[in-house]
Chains A and B, each alone.
Chain A
Amino acid sequence: DAGVIQSPRHEVTEMGQEVTLRCKPISGHDYLFWYRQTMMRGLELLIYFNNNVPIDDSGMPEDRFSAKMPNASFSTLKIQPSEPRDSAVYFCASSFTGVEGNTIYFGEGSWLTVV
């Protein structure tokens, strides 16, 4: 399997622009997670889905952030409008059956810089 695939790998955008990050989870996995990593805040869970349904979005920082999972093989994380403080590495991850008891597989991350 190719693993979790994220795009773009790197993005530099201007403040105020819309940013869309994309993720293809590992085939057959039923959980999908979005994390944000910064030096200050570590690895934060933003939102996770089970069978395409959002389960916990309490980590989404504010209304500028939204995530969707229209089908089992695709998810997006959108930031609109973007701000410099959104600069971070965004990881998508997936796992199979069970938040508590199964390995979470991470993608390589999307490195976002907002100038």
Chain B
Amino acid sequence: GENVEQHPSTLSVQEGDSAVIKCTYSDSASNYFPWYKQELGKGPQLIIDIRSNVGEKKDQRIAVTLNKTAKHFSLHITETQPEDSAVYFCAASPRFGAGTRLTVKP
């Protein structure tokens, strides 16, 4: 099955800085790449996704970029805020990466 690798496992940034999380996948047939955010005590929730016919997608402070040739995609969060602190997962559905715990320090 699909193998999804995500890094870093933890990331700490200062409020206002940018954060980047990277994900690689193994199945070249994959064509849908979502990112999920999990807050404490809750299930993961979709925050942004991208399909294989698009190289970049942006939604306010978050963006996802995709490199199909290299089989990797990244989540970019700009102007980070304390409420961005959470665990973030990439997925090559239905399999998920190991998660990145992001801490935004005020």
What residues of chain A have their CB less than 8 Å away from a CB belonging to chain B? 4, 31, 33, 35, 42-43, 45, 48, 56, 58, 91, 93, 95, 99-104, 106-109
Contact = CB atoms under 8 A, between A and B. Distances in A.
A95 B32 CA distance: 14
B78 interface: no
Given A93-B43, A107-B43, A99 B94 contact: yes
Contacts of A102: 32, 93
20 contacts: A4-B43, A42-B96, A42-B99, A43-B44, A43-B96, A43-B98, A45-B94, A45-B95, A93-B43, A95-B93, A99-B94, A100-B30, A103-B34, A104-B34, A104-B36, A104-B46, A104-B91, A104-B94, A108-B43, A109-B42
B89 A43 contact: yes
Interface residues of B, number: 23
Interface of B: 1, 30-32, 34, 36, 41-46, 49, 51, 89, 91, 93-99
B1 to A, nearest CB: 7
